[in-house]
């Protein structure tokens, strides 16, 4: 057998290598990458003898028989197959705060507008897995239909262990602190302002080069993220396929005694021991792989004359249901952009939505909230729960009047996870010390401006006299 040559053979603690990673570009392509020349079998997936004595292993992200346009799978060529581990055992002590099936025993429901302040960083050593907790969700990973919204706060790297989510795909939105993520397909550096999708089943490990870190995670059960159709926008715009980055093959070899795989399965965590690293894939090919995307690359479209567009115009990724146009989960952003609409109330309109809206703020402020919605904070406006700009935003917009010229909103990156399912909320989120119990007050001051005569004619008579 040829001498095993280890390429890019740095340890995970070598930071320099993480910041100079090469990536493959594209969305849902047929990717291929080999860390050693010739490690990918040519002409077939499963030769009797793979190059360099590697094992061939397929990971399927859709059923074998899914239609070709949606079929996702990759072939991994690895030093030892994933199956080489001791039996899974329930994690002790139980993690307790991850939920993947939402029912009366683990969650409750409320139509009230909810808002949370940013959560403090942990004081005791907490890695990405320890620091993950579910805020809300609906459906069931067992039934392959549903979603969960989690958040994480962590201060230490995962050590000698990898996480594997059998329940669904994670879309991770870091808000504070970079994530150095080692996956079976290679390594990714993900900074706040970027997102990463870790599809169902892939093993990954998260290191925190910046220490205390915080962020949001959307999980979808039974669906995968795809780019939205562009309709009349045309062939270009919003998130461009070429800006999605997929890792190149990277592996580590040798013995890793006591390496632990932590598997999330039905919302519960199980651990299995093995004596080697799962990051032992020397080459891979296929269209099922982790990827990242820099939100500053997004090309926003919007009104250029009147009125406020629905936020769907800023959809980065969507995880569809079987109903056309109805998302299990849309990931929508509110990026820096020009506001130019004439004689228009430019902030988000007041509204009630049959979809449920969870929002987070990565940086800066959010155009609908003058106060109280802070980077690292979050809000939930469930199905048909009324919401919209707070009193200060409304009054300031009206005061600016019709003469407002083109204006660029800068220093902002808010996002929304929007789902057709109605979320139930976990008790620790409802009882959290970071819950903003006075949230409703941001709208209470909205006064009646009703006037019997047309306001353009300068009428000052309010009907209900509340000012
Ligand atoms: O509620 C929100 O702040 C999100 C949102 C923004 C927007 O511009 C229009 C509708 C909408 O739900
Ligand atoms: Fe909304």
CATH architecture designation of domain 15-21+85-277+286-295: Sandwich (2.60)
Quote the strand ranges of 91-212, DSSP E: 114-116, 132-140, 145-154, 161-165, 169-176, 179-183, 186-190, 194-198, 203-207
Cβ(49)–Cβ(36) below 8 Å: no
pTM of the entire predicted model? 0.94
Task: Classify the C-alpha dihedral 449-454-457-461 as positive or negative.
Answer: negative
CA of 467 to the centre of ligand 1 (A): 28
Cα-to-chain-centroid distance, residue 392: 30
- Whose atoms come closest to the Cα of 339: which ligand? 1
Q: What is the model's pLDDT at position 137?
A: 98
Please determine, for residue 10, whether its predicted confidence score (pLDDT) is greater than 50.
Answer: no
Q: CB–CB of 72/287 below 8 Å?
A: yes
Which residue out of 311, 397, 415 has the highest number of ligand 1 atoms within 8 Å of its CB and is therefore the one to mutate?
Answer: 311
| pLDDT at residue 403 in the model | 83
% of the chain exceeding 90 in pLDDT: 91
Whether 308 is a known active-site residue: answer: yes
Instruction: Given the residues 85, 150, 285, 308, select the one marked as catalytic.
Output: 308
Binding residues for homogentisate: 366, 387
User: Can you tell me the mean pLDDT for 269-294?
Assistant: 98
* Mutation to probe ligand 1, out of 314, 355, 416 (largest number of atoms < 8 A from CB): 416
- Enumerate the CATH 2.60.120.10 domain ranges in the chain, comma separated: 15-21+85-277+286-295, 296-457
% the chain with pLDDT above 70: 94
For 408, residues 6+ apart whose C-beta sits below 8 A from its C-beta are: 336, 337, 338, 339
Interval 291-297 mean pLDDT: 98
Q: How far is CA 436 from the centre of its chain?
A: 23
Does the bond joining 423 to the residue before it have cis omega, within 30 degrees of 0?
A: no
Query: What mean pLDDT comes out for the span 122-134?
Result: 97
Work out the average pLDDT over 439-444: 98
Pocket of ligand 1 (CB under 6 A): 308, 311, 348, 351, 357, 368, 381, 387, 416
**Residues in binding site for Fe cation:** 351, 357, 387
Residue range 296-457 forms a domain whose CATH class is mainly beta
Long-range contacts of 453-456 (CB under 8 A, 24+ apart): none
């Amino acid at each position: 057998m040829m001498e095993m040559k280890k390429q890019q053979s740095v340890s995970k603690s070598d930071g320099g290598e993480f910041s100079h990673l090469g990536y493959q570009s594209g969305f849902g392509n047929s990717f291929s990458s080999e860390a050693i020349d010739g490690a990918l079998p040519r002409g077939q997936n499963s030769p009797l003898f793979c190059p360099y004595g590697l094992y061939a292993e397929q990971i399927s992200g859709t059923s074998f028989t899914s239609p070709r346009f949606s079929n996702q799978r990759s072939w991994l060529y690895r030093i030892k197959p994933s199956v080489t581990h001791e039996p899974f055992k329930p994690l002790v002590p139980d993690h307790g705060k991850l939920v993947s099936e939402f029912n009366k025993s683990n969650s409750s429901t409320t139509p009230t507008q909810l808002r949370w302040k940013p959560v403090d960083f942990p004081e005791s050593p907490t890695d990405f897995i320890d620091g993950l907790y579910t805020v809300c969700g609906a459906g069931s990973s067992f039934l392959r239909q549903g979603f969960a919204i989690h958040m994480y706060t962590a201060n230490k790297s995962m050590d000698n262990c990898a996480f594997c989510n059998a329940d669904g795909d994670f879309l991770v939105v870091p808000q504070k602190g970079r994530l150095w993520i080692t996956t079976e397909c290679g390594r990714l550096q993900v900074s706040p302002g970027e997102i990463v999708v870790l599809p169902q089943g892939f093993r990954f490990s998260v290191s925190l080069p910046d220490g205390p870190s915080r962020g949001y995670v959307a999980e979808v059960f039974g669906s995968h993220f795809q780019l939205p159709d562009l309709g009349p926008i045309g062939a270009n715009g919003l998130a461009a396929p070429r800006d999605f980055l997929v890792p190149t093959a990277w592996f580590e070899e040798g013995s890793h005694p006591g390496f632990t795989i932590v598997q999330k399965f039905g919302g519960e965590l199980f651990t299995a021991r093995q004596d080697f690293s799962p990051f032992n894939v020397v080459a891979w090919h296929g269209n099922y792989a982790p990827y990242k995307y820099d939100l500053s690359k997004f090309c926003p479209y919007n009104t250029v004359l009147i009125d406020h567009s629905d936020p769907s115009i800023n959809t980065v990724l969507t995880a569809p249901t079987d109903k056309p146009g109805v998302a299990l989960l849309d990931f929508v952003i509110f990026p820096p952009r020009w506001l130019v609409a004439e004689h228009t109330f430019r902030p988000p309109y007041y509204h009630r939505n049959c979809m449920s809206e969870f929002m987070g703020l990565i940086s800066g402020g959010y155009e609908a909230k003058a106060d109280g919605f802070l980077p690292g904070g979050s809000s939930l406006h469930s199905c048909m729960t009324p919401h919209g700009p707070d009193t200060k935003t409304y009054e300031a917009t009206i005061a600016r009047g019709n003469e407002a010229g083109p204006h660029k909103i800068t220093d902002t990156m808010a996002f929304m996870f929007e789902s057709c399912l109605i979320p139930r909320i976990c008790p620790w989120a409802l009882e959290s010390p970071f819950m903003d119990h006075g949230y409703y007050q941001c709208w209470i001051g909205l006064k009646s401006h009703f006037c019997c005569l047309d306001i353009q004619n300068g009428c000052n008579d309010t009907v209900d006299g509340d000012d």
